[in-house]
Structure 1
Amino acid sequence: MGFTSPWHWLILILVIVVLFGSKRLPDAARGLGRSMRIFKSEIKEMGNDGGTDSAQQPPQSAPPQISAAPTTQDDQAQSGYTQQGNQQQQPDQRA
């Protein structure tokens, strides 16, 4: 049967009026209308902006690749690193 019966609609409208009150219903409907209008205008703007943005933006080039220079044991010794886990050596601070 569903909500196709006029009695179901009448009961539903009566419940809404009782819950929200007759003074707040016009304000709620007005706010809903404004929200729908803003939503529709934003959707139209997104559709218009989507086509023009891709034509105006130049294609992005790939970032330059940085190749890592091979390190030798001498380079690691000078920088204070050992081969075991690249742990930094602490200088002996005994006086």
Structure 2
Amino acid sequence: PVPDDPRITRIVDTLLADPACPRALDGWARDLGISERTVTRAFRESTGLTFGQWRQSLRIRHAVTLLSAGHRVHEVSEQLGYTQPSTFIAAFHKVTGQTPGAVA
């Protein structure tokens, strides 16, 4: 789900446009002038997920789109900001229960 809380709209819009954005929760909170706890609460109330869980879910959904379009696993890993393809593969498997290669 896409959060609809106006306090976090800038975070959501940025991450939807660039799922690889590496900015951490503390940086977002500082930039928005609100506490990390407020950001976390806004994500949980809007989606049932923490900020980290929501961002990971967004990245994996984007990965599925790219993989289905024929992009290679290592390319998708790079595009989504993972430092190693193995890290991407582990995250993908944790969320979907399958490897990225099974989707491609």
TM-score, scaled to structure 2: 0.20
Q: Choose between structure 1 and 2: higher helix proportion.
A: 2
Tell which structure's C-alpha radius of gyration is larger. Answer: 1
Query: Which has the bigger relative contact order, CA under 8 A and spacing at least 6?
Result: 2
TM-score (norm 1): 0.22
